[in-house]
């Protein structure tokens, strides 16, 4: 069996293979509720053979959302429609994960396809669940002063920080009730926890700012608090922007140090991405973020997930064979081919048993006919 398609265990969870659907915001919820779009969008990845499907950045509080269209898990009423998705994924043999997130100063931004003409009346705004609020952040500084989509946030005080931690804990409890197998803490892409980590966004002078130790404090407090309520046999992941890709910003060495501390607090794997601040840019290319996963894996001794233009099956297999990462995550690649694991399994010498039973015979018949 290929490395890509081999099972892997984290705590009490065994994934059928090492393919992962990375979180992808759909901006299609109203008041945080999952709906039929999310069900079909996510369900097809379970049918497509992925080992783990991670739901999009899900707001732990109403003000934690990137936009008014984000999923939420800040109230019990959100549980039931999410549980329906979890049940379907389980029925297809996939594990279900959810990324818990707080957007910080990147919150309350527009949904790109809803222009002013679509929000002109109260009826139109109500139809899409439009809301607008002031974001919060470590410091009262806009993500990008030159972009009017971003507001100047309010700096979090101690009560606000406590609200954030409690929000992550309550959302993790609800994720357990919904039946999720994995929780991922979102500390990447310029959102709140990443903002606390980065010296480019965090200019506090209290115990949450200044030194690297202080800037790591909130992420570690969140991880510790979530691990305390998340079942012992279920994995906890963290997504990091391993580098800000900007001078004076968060670095690979910083991420290795943070990953060590997260591991000590019960985090089981690091989902390795990069960037997210206005000051940082990196050119996308095939497997361009794999060195981040490799560095964190080697430096912190923790399993890592590689992400970023990894749709080439042979390249993905080689990354795992070389020990550069433990999981291969796709986002746009999964949108392009929701059946990527099914095709990868065949290309790497497997059979059709990964296909859903309803389509397996058709797939086998097509293969026989193609061979003449």
The verdict on residue 3 lying in a domain is no
Phi, psi for 154 (deg, rounded to 5): -85, 135
Q: How far apart are the first and last CA of the chain?
A: 27
Q: Is position 1 within any domain?
A: no
Active site residue 191: yes
Residue 320 near residue 326 (C-beta atoms within 8 A): yes
Tokens found for residue 194: 């990443």
- Which tokens belong to 221? 């407090």
Q: Does any domain span residue 90?
A: yes
Q: Are 305 and 268 in contact (CB under 8 A)?
A: no
| Structural domain harbouring 98 | 8-370
Give the number of domains in the chain.
1
248 falls within a domain: yes
In a domain, 2, yes or no: no
pLDDT values of the chain reduced to their tens digit, one per residue, 372 residues = 899 999 999 999 999 999 999 999 999 999 999 999 999 999 999 999 999 999 999 999 999 999 999 999 999 999 999 999 999 999 999 999 999 999 999 999 999 999 999 999 999 999 999 999 999 999 999 999 999 999 999 999 999 999 999 999 999 999 999 999 999 999 999 999 999 999 999 999 999 999 999 999 999 999 999 999 999 999 999 999 999 999 999 999 999 999 999 999 999 999 999 999 999 988 889 999 999 999 999 999 999 999 999 999 999 999 999 999 999 999 999 999 999 999 999 999 999 999 998 888 777 666 666 776
Contacts of 350 (CB under 8 A, 6+ apart): 1, 2, 5
Rounded CA-CA distance 246/243 in Å is 8
- Tell me, yes or no, whether 303 lies in a domain: yes
CATH code of the domain in which 329 resides: 3.20.20.70
Whether 100 is covered by a domain: the verdict is yes
pTM of the model: 0.96
d(CA 131, CA 116): 14
Check: CB of residue 310 under 8 Å from CB of residue 331: no
Residue 18, domain member (yes or no): yes
Options 191, 208, 288, 365, the catalytic residue: 191
Smallest CA-to-CA distance from 2 within 341, 256, 250 is with 341
Check if the beta carbon of residue 199 is closer than 8 Å to that of residue 114: no
Determine the Cα–Cα distance for residues 218 and 123; give it in Å rounded to an integer: 40
The 3-state DSSP class for residue 195 equals helix
Instruction: For residues 17 and 327, give the distance between their C-alpha atoms in angstroms, rounded to a whole number.
Output: 9
């Amino acid at each position: 069996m290929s490395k890509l398609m081999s099972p892997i265990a984290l705590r009490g969870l065994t994934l059928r293979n090492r393919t992962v659907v990375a979180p992808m915001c759909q901006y299609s919820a109203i008041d945080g509720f999952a709906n039929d779009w999310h069900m079909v969008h996510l369900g097809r990845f379970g049918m497509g053979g992925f080992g783990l499907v991670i739901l999009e950045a899900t707001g732990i509080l109403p003000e934690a959302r990137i936009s008014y269209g984000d999923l939420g898990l800040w109230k019990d009423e959100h549980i039931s429609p999410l549980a329906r998705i979890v049940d379907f994924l389980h029925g297809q043999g996939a594990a279900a994960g959810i990324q818990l997130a707080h957007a910080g100063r990147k919150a309350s931004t527009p949904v790109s396809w809803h222009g002013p003409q679509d929000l002109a009346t109260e009826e139109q705004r109500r139809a899409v669940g439009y809301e607008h609020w002031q974001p919060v952040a470590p410091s009262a500084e806009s993500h990008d002063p030159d972009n009017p989509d971003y507001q100047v946030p309010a700096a979090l005080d101690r009560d606000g920080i406590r609200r954030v931690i409690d929000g992550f804990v309550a959302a993790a409890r609800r994720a357990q009730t919904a039946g999720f197998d994995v929780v991922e803490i979102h500390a990447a892409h310029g959102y709140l926890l990443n903002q606390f980590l980065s010296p480019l966004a965090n200019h506090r002078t209290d115990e949450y700012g200044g030194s690297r130790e202080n800037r790591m404090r909130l992420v570690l407090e969140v991880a510790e608090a979530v691990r305390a309520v998340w079942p012992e046999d279920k994995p906890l992941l963290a997504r990091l922007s391993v580098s800000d890709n900007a001078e004076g910003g968060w670095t690979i060495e910083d991420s290795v140090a943070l990953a060590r501390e997260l591991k000590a607090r019960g985090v089981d794997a690091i989902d390795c991405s990069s960037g997210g601040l206005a000051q940082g840019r990196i050119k996308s290319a095939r497997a361009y973020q794999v060195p981040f996963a490799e560095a964190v894996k080697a430096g912190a001794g923790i399993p890592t997930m590689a992400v970023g233009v990894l749709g080439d099956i042979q390249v993905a297999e080689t990354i795992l064979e070389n020990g550069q990462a433990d999981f291969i995550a796709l986002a746009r690649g999964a949108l392009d081919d929701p059946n990527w694991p099914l095709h990868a399994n065949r290309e790497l010498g497997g059979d059709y048993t990964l296909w859903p039973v309803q389509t397996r015979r058709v797939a086998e018949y097509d293969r026989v006919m193609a061979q003449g």
